[in-house]
Amino acid sequence: MKPIGGRQMCRLLEAKGWRLARITGSHHIFVREGVNLRITVPVHGNADLKVGLQKAIMKFSGVSDKDL
């Protein structure tokens, strides 16, 4: 799995149909129609997401390794 930053994860989520609901500080909150789930992505400059957080976001959102 390739580590990616928060901004790139936000672009992937939007490509998968997730919509940016709001931004609170440096955290971008995404929602999707028909899914009772919120996904929070920290966007801290150019810093990569930590491995566990990236895996969890990918699992809940449906983003696969080949999408990276």
Give pLDDT tens digits for 47-62: 999 999 999 999 999 8
Q: What is the pLDDT at residue 18?
A: 95
Domain with 12 in it: 6-67
Indicate whether 44 belongs to any domain: yes
Q: How many domains does the chain have?
A: 1
Q: Which strand ranges, in their side-by-side order, compose the sheet holding 35-42?
A: 19-24, 27-32, 35-42
Q: What is the pTM for the complete model shown?
A: 0.89
Would you say residue 17 lies in a domain? yes
Domain of residue 62, CATH code: 3.30.920.30
For 7-49, write each residue's pLDDT tens digit: 999 999 999 999 999 999 999 999 999 989 999 999 998 899 9
Q: Is residue 1 part of a domain?
A: no
Cβ neighbors of 24 (< 8 A, separation 6 or more) are none
- 41's enclosing H/E stretch is strand 35-42
